Every structure is written in structure tokens, then in C-alpha cells.
A and B are shown apart, each in its own frame.
Chain A
Amino acid sequence: MSVEINQVKETVKTYIVERFLKNTNDKQLTNSTPLISGGLIDSILTMQLVVFLEEQFKVEFQAHEVDVDNLDSIDIIAAFVLKKLNG
């Protein structure tokens, strides 16, 4: 499956805004906004995000991959998803 990094970023961003940030005033979500370390999403929402990424991009996460290193911003998520897709 050939996926562009910007495509991943756009999909993730749309999901995050729709799901997690709809009821906040924070519409200024950029690709580098810290999601976990910035407190925008907690452990439960992080798990939802993981499930979404797994279903959307047909990738499989390991438990230890669910951390700030791989999921803290849209940029990081996109890079990680692409890394997964590219094996």
C-alpha cells in the first residue's frame, strides 16, 4: 500500500480534531502539537487512537510502542505509521 506522509498526517489530524478536540477551544492543532506530553489525550484516548491507526492503515502496534516516542504529535505518528508500513 503506497501512502504519502501528508495523507497520513491529514487523516490523523482529522480524526484527532473530530474525536478528541471537538469539545475544546483548541482549534490550533498543528502537526507538532504535543498530544500526550501536552495532556491533550490521555491513556484511553491514546488507545482509541491506536485502534484507529491499526484499522485505518492496517498496521499492528505492540504494547511498548504506545508511548510518547511514537505518538506524541501528528508528525511523529505519521512517521511511525510510515515506518510500520514500510516494514
Chain B
Amino acid sequence: MYSVQTSIKMERITKYFPEISVLPENQVGLFEMTRLRSFFLALIQFCLILFVVTKYNFEKSSGVIDYAQYLLVVFVLHSFISIRFRPAFLFLCCVILLYVVFGILAGSFMIGTGLSLILICHLPIKFNFRLCLVLLIALMLAIFRTEFIYVPWMTIAIMYLAPLFMFRLIVYLYEIKTGYLPANKWQSISYFFLFPNIFFLFFPIIDYKTAIKNYYQAPEREIWQKGIRWMVRGLIHLLCYRFICLTVLISQESVQDLPSLLHYMAVNYSLILHISAIFHFIIGMICMFGFNLPQVFDNYFAAISFVDLWRRINIYWRDFVLKVFFYPIMFMYKKRVKKNLLTITMMTVFVITWLLHSYQLFWISGRFSIKLNDVIFWLIIGATITINSIVVERNSLLGKVDTINKESVPYYFISMGKMLGMLVFMSLMWSLWYSRTLEDWFFILSKGGSFTSNQLLIIVIVLLSILVMGVLVKLVLRNEFINKLIYRKPHETLVLTLFSLSILALFSFKEVQSVLPKKSQILFADLMNGSPNLVEKDNAEAGYYDLLIEGDEENTIGIGGKSLKSFMRKRPYTNAYVLTNDIMYRKMKPNLKINGIDHNFESNAFGMRDKNYSVDKPAGTYRIALLGGSYQMGSGVNNDQVFEAIVEERINKDDIDSSIRLVEIFNFSAGGYYLLQQVELVNTTVFKYDMDGAIYFAHTGERTKVIHFFANSIKRELPINYPFLKNIQKLSGAKSYMSLMQIRELLLPYGDTIMKWGYKEIAEKCKANNVVPIWGYMETTTEYVDENEFNELKAYAESLGFVTLDLRDTYGKIDRKDVQLSEWNTHPNVLGQKLIADKFYSELMKNKNKIFKIK
């Protein structure tokens, strides 16, 4: 009786899912005891994972934490509905998420465009016409993505829609072209609208055939446990990544000799753990919904050759490239090219791989970057893998045999040596890829020439130790018991995952952490916090993957926390400036009115982010020029929320002085303005408006910022009209053809001199125009005040006759995160601006008598 029922059910399922060849146990009985037991085991672990994810702030910006409960509900409901409806249910869940996150307009646009693209793939017209239609839509979306036509909600919608389609649509069209037609339309739709993709824009390329063929192609409990195992692995990789960032990560600027160069390169390559963490987590999450997907990374650090690395690193990418490009290109050339077929194919494939990386970056970040170091990186990687492949092919064709026993100690030494070689090679390549420019990379490599014999000895000892340790590990792994223990199939790992999750969950409680030594407790707290440190942020500016995973200040990615809002905030500035070929570098366009999604940006007739003022000063008016950067301009908030506007209004309301009828604060600040631009403004613009006072705002790291800006000006060959600066450039030996890092290093000894010159210029010009020079020190939301620097700068400003305003301790005991726009865009938010306004006002009032003196 049972078997008859089973076969009827099987028949029903194959009607909807022809690929399923075994009856999933959930269809035998959704509420059967054995299934319920497996389900609860998976549910407990999934709950623990989401608990750990929340407690350890796993990829905060992604939104997994914000929508953890939603994920849990989706998992439970999905597990108890008939398999027939599951793909449609997954699509529905994605639709709900899109509407909740992006609203009706953007959500509808994303769903409508997505469904239209799928529909076009199936139109009853010639394949090439369908392809053209898809390309046409892609082109239109690309125009909006470049913000050539700027519609804020559409920019965001495309940014989040593109990752669902940018690769999967290529795969899907390929399958249709080659005759693999999907039998179930809901499976196709849910293949595109994979809802973890909304959280993670940088997503592994899921193969359509693999997804369909592996849908419930194993007992459900096994797929669940596999998913859990991978999510746990992802969490562990992420903690390793954070540990590295917190303890051993150094910036390119810290590289001074061979040991620090090797340190930098090795640590930089190990940051690939971040990608591996996220990809494992994603694939694990997809497994929880029945897709029994294969592994995405396979011990890439253990690669012993270039081909081996290609086989192990980002397997989904490799499979995609092989399927859609490598084999078709090889077959295309096969009959035409008699010689070097493999070389031509491989090199073509690597050029495509490089372009696809740029293509991916474009859709997610909106930038299409073709950097020389990217080209060289892919060229070298492509060439090495090609050469290695040719050797493999030749050896195979010649029937060459390795006589050495692969289970012998000498072979272990050889393979460990190869592995070490690959690690060194990839570290070197990664440092190239993660360099801002090729010159920067050559510059840090040149530091490798500096070493002592002792350092060299230590390096050799370290490398040999790694070699010997690797061999020892291999010997230990020869033991069958240990081998079996380690190399378990993912679904056989219940004890391991449950144990790991319990430990992680336990240690998320402060009471449990207190058993650790004090130092470890602090480290653990940082590990759990997960906020990127300064070096990480610095790396993100140059790092390809960092840009895709979390973005940077310019390009916040993710729907979690404040990330999406921050992205919306950033957009108004895209077209707010015009580049100038002088030391100002850029100027704000006048009379702008840009409506962002949640804040607006307006500039006045003078090209300032401020209201309109008359050129001639009305009688009884006291005018102050405010000179600053993005903080003072109010990046990320409305015009009327900027502290300058708040203070101006308050001063006028409070009627601070009977002789002053009106106070006007002209906000000359703009994003990216530093001391040298303020000097230029003072020399060219500020005093045209009959000022009474001029405030220059300093920040933490004043000297470094001046050097960085001056170095950029030299690199960009901007004309420098100040003899003093020209002389400094000459004395330092900095030239525009040098790498930016080298220019900065050469200018470093002159930081103090340049800074003092700038202050003096502002003070002297103010005095010459009978204007009160005012110096303000503003605390940033990220760096704590360097008291020594503050005291030095203040003393120097006072010696030049500046009235000084101390805006330290602006945020009091408020958590800095509460005053930042987001984790990556740390400009003050509305609350931050309010607090700055309070502090600024109180400092102005403290110095009222020195400042408000009508001429």
C-alpha cells in the first residue's frame, strides 16, 4: 500500500520537477516523526546560526541581522508546504523582501523588470532576437546605473536587481540556446529571485542546470545539515578574517623593508577568507531551501600548482567560465586553429574573466574601472595557468609518469614546497591587484630590497618551519582515523556544527567571556563588534572584493542597518561638482537643487552649500566665512540640518549683540577640501564678500591630510602657484611620475612646515583684510582626539592671532555609531550635526567678545 502511495506521489512530483529522481522524504509525510526530528535538529542549528550572526554582527551591512527573524519564518514555512509550491513560495518571499526594503515603486520596478527579462528569454521568436531584446534592456539599465540619467530610486533598484541577473541570465540564455529547457517556470523564477542575493550583492554564480538537477536530489536532512555545515564554516572563516584584521593587518604605507613587505603580502592574501566566509554562508543558506549545491571553495591555500589553484578557488566562477566560454571557444577554434589551441583559448578566457570582473564591479558599484594593475594581474594569472595547463597536457599526451610515491615523505616535501611557492606567488599577485596603481605596487616591492642578514635568516627559518609543519600535518592525516574525522561529508557533521555553534553562542555572553584573560576579552569584544578598522577601510578603497562586499564611503552596499539609507544619502553629490585644473581640484556648481531619496542638496548662486546672500553686506550685518571639508559642508544631511545653518539661525534668534542686526555664515566648505584649498579660497574668493570673521576648521591628522592632498596635486600635475609649495616640492624631490605612496613619503618630513605655512597664510590674509581669524578644532566621529596634536595646533594658531574654538568632546558619551551616517560613511548624521551645532554655538558664545566686532 505504502509503495503504491509513494509511487503516486513520485509521479506527481516528477510532473512538476522532472529532474527529481528520488522521492524527497518530506513528501512521504511532512509531519512524520523521523522528518520532524531532522527538521527540529536543523531548526535549532539554524536558530543558533542566526543568534551567532546577530551577536557577532556578521556582515552587518548585508541585512541578514535585520531580517534574521524573517529568514527563520521563511525556513519554517518552506519546510512544511508541499514541494510543488516551494519554488513559488521562495519567489513570493523574495517579492515581500523587495517591497519591504525598497518600497512599492522600486520593488515593483525590480520585480517587473526581472520577470520581463525571464519572459523575453522564452518569447516565441528567434534566439538572436531574444538576445538583442535582453541586451537592449541591459543597456537601458546601464545608462541609469551610470547615473547619466539620475533617478535616485532607480539607481538603487538597478544596483540590487543587477546581481540577480548579471550572471544568471547569461547562464540561463546559454542553457536555452543549447536546448536545456526548464520544465517548471517557478523553478526558473526562483532561480533568479534567490532571496539571499538581496542581502549579498557579491554572490557566487549559481549554475542553472546544477541548481535544477540538485534540487532535492538527496534526503532533505542531508541537504539541511550540509547547509548548516557551510554556514558554520562561513562564520568561522569570518572570525578568522576579523582576527587577522585586528591583529596582523598592516597598510601598504607600513611596508618599509623585506620582512614587512612579506608580512603585508601574506596577510593581504589571507583576507580572501572574507569572500570565502560570505560564499560559504550564502551557499549554506540556499541549501536550507532544498538546493543541494556543491562546494564553492576547496582549500585554496593548499593549491600546489596554478591549475590546482584555478580548480580550488571560487569553483562556481571557474565552472561558469568553463561552460559558457572555455568549451565554446575551444570548439569554435578547434577546426580553424591547428597550433596552440589551448594557449589561444586560455588567454581569451582570461581576458573575458578580467572583463567580467569589471562588468560585475560596474553593476554593483556603478564604476567601470580598467586599471593597468588589473590588466597585468589577469594577464599574469592567465599566462601562468595556461603554461601550467600546457605542461599538464603535454605530460599527459607523452604519457609521462611521476615515479615518486605520492604517499611518501619526499613527495610531501615537494608538494609542501610547491604549496609554499603558490602562496608566495598568490600573495605577490594579490598585492598587485590590491594596489591603487601599478607605481604604488612597484614602490612597495622596492622596499623589499631593504633587509639585514638576520632578517633574511629569520625569513628562511619561518619558511622552512612552515614546510616542515606542513609535512607533519600530512603525516598526521595519513592516519585513517584522523583522516575520516576531518574529511567527513558535510551532512555527517551534526556533532561538529552543534558543538561549534554552542561554543560561539556561549562566548557571545559577557559572563562567559569573563573567564578569558583581560587582553583576550578586549580582543574578543572587537571580534564580535566587527566594525572595519582604518586599515580595512583603506584597503577597501583599492581592493576589488572589498568594494563588492561592503563598498566604501563612496559606495555603501547592503540593506542592513543604516547602509541603504547611507547609499541614498551619498547620491546627491555625484553631479554636484565641476573639476578644475588648479589646486582647488573641484568646485561646487552654483544654483544646484538635487533631490535625493531622503535628503536634498542645494547650492546658492556663489556655488556654496548655503542659502543665497547678497554680494554687498547689508548694514549691521556680521559675516563669517566658514572654511572646511565634507563635515562642515554637511555630507549626508539636508541643507537646513547642517550645523552651520542651525547655528546661524540660532545666533540670529538669540540676538547676541545689540550692535549686530544679522549674522551671516558663508559656508565655503566642500567635500575633499583641505588646508591648501582653504588657503587658495582665502587668497581668491573669501574676502570678496566683505567678511568680518573667517573660521578655519582643523581635524585629527591635520599634517597627514595636508601631505596627502599636496601629493595628489603633484601626482595630478595641478598647477601650483605658490612659490613656497613649489619650493617644498623641489626640496622633497617629489615628481608626478612617481607613485603616490612615494610622493607622500618624500613629503612626509615637510608636513609640519606646510601646515604652519597654511595657517600663517590664512592668518595674514585675515589681518590684511581686517577680518578676525578663527581656528576651530573639530572632533571626527571615528578618530579620538590626539591631545598632543590638538595642543600643538592650538598653541600655534594662537601664536598667529587666531581666536580658537575647542570642539572636542562634541559627542560626549553618545556611542559614535549613533552619530555616524553608516559604518562606512562616518560623516555626522542629523544627530551628529545637532551636537556639533550645540558645541559650536557654545564655543562662539564663549569667545563672543573676541569674535563679534563689527568693523
Contact = CB atoms under 8 A, between A and B. Distances in A.
Interface in B378-405: 389, 392-393, 396-397, 399-402, 405
B399 A19 contact: yes
How big is chain B's contact interface, by range? Answer: 20 to 34
15 contacts: A18-B399, A39-B311, A42-B392, A44-B393, A45-B392, A48-B393, A62-B331, A63-B330, A63-B332, A64-B174, A64-B178, A64-B179, A64-B327, A64-B328, A66-B327
Contacts of A30: none
Interface string B421-435: 000000000000000
A23 interface: yes
Given A44-B389, A48-B396, A66-B327, 18 more contacts: A18-B399, A22-B399, A23-B401, A25-B405, A39-B311, A43-B322, A44-B342, A44-B392, A45-B396, A47-B327, A47-B342, A48-B397, A63-B178, A63-B331, A63-B332, A64-B174, A64-B328, A67-B209
B406 interface: yes
A19 B399 CA distance: 6
Interface string A1-36: 000000000000000001110111100000000000
A23 B401 CA distance: 5
Interface string A39-77: 100111101100000000000011110110100000000
B326 A43 contact: yes
Contacts of A44: 307, 342, 389, 392-393, 396
A22 B402 CA distance: 9
A22 B399 CA distance: 8
Give the one of A18, A39, A42 with max B CB within 10 A.
A42
A68 to B, nearest CB: 9
A75 to B, nearest CB: 16
A24 B328 contact: no
B407 interface: yes
B406 A24 contact: yes
Contact of B402 (A18, A23, A39, A67): A23
Contacts of B178: 62-64
Nearest to A25: B406
A77 B405 CA distance: 30
Contacts of B185: none
A63 B209 CA distance: 15
Nearest to B330: A47
Give the one of A19, A45, A47 with max B CB within 10 A.
A47
A61 B328 CA distance: 11
A62 B396 CA distance: 23
Contacts of A63: 178, 327-328, 330-332
B593 interface: no
Nearest to B406: A25
A82 B215 CA distance: 28
Interface of A: 18-20, 22-25, 37, 39, 42-45, 47-48, 61-64, 66-67, 69
A37 B213 CA distance: 14
Nearest 3 pairs between A and B by C-beta?
A: A64-B178, A63-B331, A63-B328
Nearest to B294: A37
B510 interface: no
Interface of chain B, main secondary structure: helix
Nearest to B345: A47
Interface in B297-311: 307, 311
B846 interface: no
A16 to B, nearest CB: 11
A15 to B, nearest CB: 11
B323 interface: yes
A4 B16 CA distance: 36
A4 B783 CA distance: 76
A37 to B, nearest CB: 8
Contacts of B402: 23
A22 B327 contact: no
A44 B389 CA distance: 7
A45 B322 CA distance: 13
A67 B399 contact: no
Interface string B256-292: 0000000000000000000000000000000000000
A34 to B, nearest CB: 12
Nearest to B174: A64
A29 B482 CA distance: 25
B529 to A, nearest CB: 39
A64 B405 CA distance: 37
A77 B256 CA distance: 57
B177 to A, nearest CB: 8
A66 B328 CA distance: 10
Contacts of B399: 18-19, 22
Contacts of B323: 64, 67
Nearest to B405: A25
B294 to A, nearest CB: 8
Interface string B309-330: 0010000000000110011101
A52 to B, nearest CB: 11
Contacts of A42: 307, 311, 392
A22 B33 CA distance: 50
B713 to A, nearest CB: 49
A82 to B, nearest CB: 20
B63 to A, nearest CB: 34
A43 B322 CA distance: 8
Nearest to B207: A67
Interface string B331-352: 1100000000010000000000
A4 B681 CA distance: 88
Nearest to B346: A44
Given A63-B328, A63-B331, A64-B327, A19 B396 contact: yes
A64 B173 CA distance: 12
Nearest to B322: A43
A64 B326 CA distance: 10
B315 to A, nearest CB: 11
Contacts of B406: 24-25
B582 to A, nearest CB: 54
Contacts of B307: 42, 44
B396 A25 contact: no
Interface string B84-105: 0000000000000000000000
A86 B326 CA distance: 28
Nearest to A47: B330
B608 to A, nearest CB: 60
A18 B401 CA distance: 10
Contact of A22 (B174, B180, B393, B401): B401
A68 B716 CA distance: 53
A7 to B, nearest CB: 23
Contacts of A24: 406
Give the one of B178, B331, B405 with max A CB within 10 A.
B331
B343 to A, nearest CB: 12
Contacts of A69: 209
Given A19-B399, A63-B330, A25 B393 contact: no
A15 B400 CA distance: 14
Contacts of A62: 178, 331
A23 B403 CA distance: 7
A22 B396 CA distance: 9
A22 to B, nearest CB: 5
